[in-house]
Amino acid sequence: MRDDALSGGFTDAPVEAARAFRAALEAMARPGSLHEVAGAEAPAPLSTAAAVLLLTLCDGETPLYLAPGHDTQPVRDWIAFHVGAPLVGPGEAMFALGQWDALAPHDAYAIGTAEYPDRSVTLIVEMPELRAEGVRLTGPGIETEAHLALPETAAFQRNAARFPLGWDCYFTCADRLAALPRTTRTEAL
């Protein structure tokens, strides 16, 4: 195991994890809102926000898929040391991490079942930038409308049409994150 795998976790885990969890919940409750997070540094190409989400939402019983580009030995070592999440294929994952194109095909992930819609994947999509502009968002948690620059619109429209089934998404870039739950309707402008 490399030395960089041993560093980069929360220094004050209870406090930093609580702040990160609140930011993750706020982002999911208010689709399209941007939130800054801190406290984690992982090997490239993981952003600070993606590392914070992994430290906060994953553990040794959370199957994680690393898409090509993020499935590197330094990232695997960091996850093994700090998170302990078992690495699996896309169809077995509770969380999947990577860039949008690398996560394709997006229909390969669990969307839950009629009895257990919560048994679906959460995608953590690394973005080159996060902007509160672009695609129009409406639905629960949005007073009138919100906007978020998404990698595409069609996949999110298909996903919302499957409700209550479907996957949820976090978008990360540097130290910022946003979320798009399956209940959000998207409309290209």
User: Is residue 189 situated within a structural domain?
Assistant: no
Residues 166, 46, 8: CA angle, nearest 5 degrees: 120
51 near 29, Cβ under 8 Å? no
pLDDT tens for 111-139 read 999 999 999 999 999 999 999 999 999 99
User: Is residue 188 situated within a structural domain?
Assistant: no
The DSSP symbol for 4 reads G
The DSSP symbol for 86 reads P
Give the residues across from 83 on adjacent strands. Answer: none
What is residue 41's predicted lDDT score, i.e. its pLDDT? 86
What is residue 7's predicted lDDT score, i.e. its pLDDT? 54
Structural domain that includes position 83: 3-182
* pTM of the model as a whole: 0.94
What is the C-alpha to C-alpha distance for residues 24 and 170, in angstroms, rounded to an integer? 8
E strands, the chain, in order: 35-36, 64-66, 95-99, 122-126, 135-138, 146-148, 168-173, 176-180, 185-187
Average pLDDT over residues 161-186: 97
pLDDT bucket at 189, cuts 50 / 70 / 90: confident
- We report the CATH number of the domain holding residue 62 as 3.40.50.11310
Helices (H), the chain: 13-29, 48-57, 73-82, 154-161
pLDDT bucket at 55, cuts 50 / 70 / 90: very high
pLDDT bucket at 15, cuts 50 / 70 / 90: confident
Q: Which percentage of the chain shows pLDDT scores above 90?
A: 87
What is the C-alpha to C-alpha distance for residues 124 and 46, in angstroms, rounded to an integer? 11
DSSP reduced 3-state for 57: helix
What is residue 1's predicted lDDT score, i.e. its pLDDT? 44
92 near 56, Cβ under 8 Å? no
pLDDT tens for 72-110 read 999 999 999 999 999 999 999 999 999 999 999 999 999
Average pLDDT over residues 30-55: 95
Number of domains in the chain: 1
Q: Which percentage of the chain shows pLDDT scores above 70?
A: 94
Instruction: Collect all residues with Cβ–Cβ distance below 8 Å to 128 and sequence separation of at least 6.
Output: 173
User: Is residue 62 situated within a structural domain?
Assistant: yes
User: Is residue 85 situated within a structural domain?
Assistant: yes
